[in-house]
Amino acid sequence: MLRGLDHILGYAVFTTDGALGSLQDLYYDDRSFTVRYLIVADVDEEGSARLVSPIAVERMTDEPQRIYLSLDRERLLGAPDIGRERPVSLQAEMDYHDHFGWPYYWQGAYAGFYPLGPQPIPASPAPPPRASEGTEASHHLRSANETKGYHVQALDGEIGHIEDFVVDEHSWHIVTVVIDTRNWWSGKKVALPAEEFTRIDWEAQLVLVAETREQVQQTREFDASVLMRSE
């Protein structure tokens, strides 16, 4: 199933024993364009937010608009708080994954996409092996909300700005990035595979694409009908 980020923001998030909060943002890895954490807001009376790994997501529904986790509230909130500052501390991420007995996403099979479907939660998790010293996985986490609005530059000129991300809800891979081209191509929207972004300049808030304007115009018009349908 493919879903636009704009569509699922605000969805209520539920643990196995009740409501937790609402989806506020996603953090993705800018190398693999895979979502690594859901930002869940209003998890307590103070309105705090927590980072939740997609490994814990069991399913999503549109009626009602909910994301169901395979964890109970106590175990989730008892996990180390890895914070919301980027880059997130690598040690904090390691402690968080150790708490649940999950593999580190920057090692082995998890270095790419997540396996399809929810992953089992061990009753008595055994900590996975430590990441090698100097690993920089946490320095590649980016906020989807922050990246929206970044300008997109083709090989021969600017083509628009990022409007949305299309996510595969099973693998949590960002399949395409929706670009609004209103200032160049009569208000059309195009969908570019995330892998075609050759570089992201975070200081200039600019994304570079390895295609010409003509190539984008000929082949990439966005079809919203693909969203929320099985591939």
Fold (CATH) for 2-142: Photosynthetic Reaction Center; Chain H, domain 2 (3.90.50)
* Banded model confidence at residue 165, pLDDT cuts 50, 70, 90: very high
Beta bridge partners of 151: 161, 206
Assign 167 a pLDDT band (cuts: 50, 70, 90): very high
User: What is residue 223's predicted lDDT score, i.e. its pLDDT?
Assistant: 80
Lookup: tokens for 52: 């939740």
pLDDT reported for residue 120:
45
Cα distance from N-terminal residue to C-terminal residue, the chain: 6
- Spatial distance between the Cα atoms of 204 and 227, rounded to a whole number of angstroms: 30
pLDDT value at residue 114:
53
The Cα 159–Cα 144 span in angstroms is 20
Sequence-separated (6 or more) residues with CB below 8 Å from residue 22:
10, 11, 12, 13, 40, 41, 42
The pLDDT, as a whole number, for residue 119 is 47
Per-residue pLDDT band at 117 (split at 50, 70, 90): very low
- Predicted confidence at residue 177, as pLDDT, reads 92
- The dihedral built from the CA positions of residue 112, 117, 121 and 122, taken in this order, carries a sign that is negative
Report DSSP state, residue 137. Answer: G
Question: Where is pLDDT greater, at 63 or 106?
Answer: 63
Q: Which residue has the higher pLDDT, 196 or 70?
A: 70
The answer on pLDDT for 125 being more than 80 is no
Section 53-65 average pLDDT: 93
CATH class of 146-226: mainly beta
170 to 36, 97, 120, 138, 194: CA distances (angstroms): 13, 20, 15, 22, 17
Q: Domain residue spans in the chain? A: 2-142, 146-226
pLDDT confidence bin for 90, thresholds 50/70/90: confident
d(C-alpha 64, C-alpha 207), whole Å: 35
- Is the pTM higher than 0.75? yes
For 175-224, how does the pLDDT look when each residue is reduced to its tens digit (9 = 90+)?
999 999 888 887 788 988 888 888 888 889 999 998 898 888 876 778 88
User: Is it the case that residue 136 has pLDDT exceeding 70?
Assistant: no
Mean pLDDT of 18-42: 92
Burial class (CB in 10 A: 0-12, 13-18, 19+), 46: exposed
* DSSP count for the chain of H helices, then E strands: 5, 14
Q: Distance between CA atoms of 157 and 194, rounded to whole angstroms?
A: 19
> pLDDT class for 108, splitting at 50, 70, 90?
low
| C-alpha–C-alpha distance, residues 28 and 98, integer Å | 20
Q: What six digits make up the tokens of 128?
A: 């996975």
Q: How confident is the model at residue 162 (pLDDT cuts 50, 70, 90)?
A: very high
* Whole-angstrom distance, CA of residue 165 vs CA of residue 175: 8
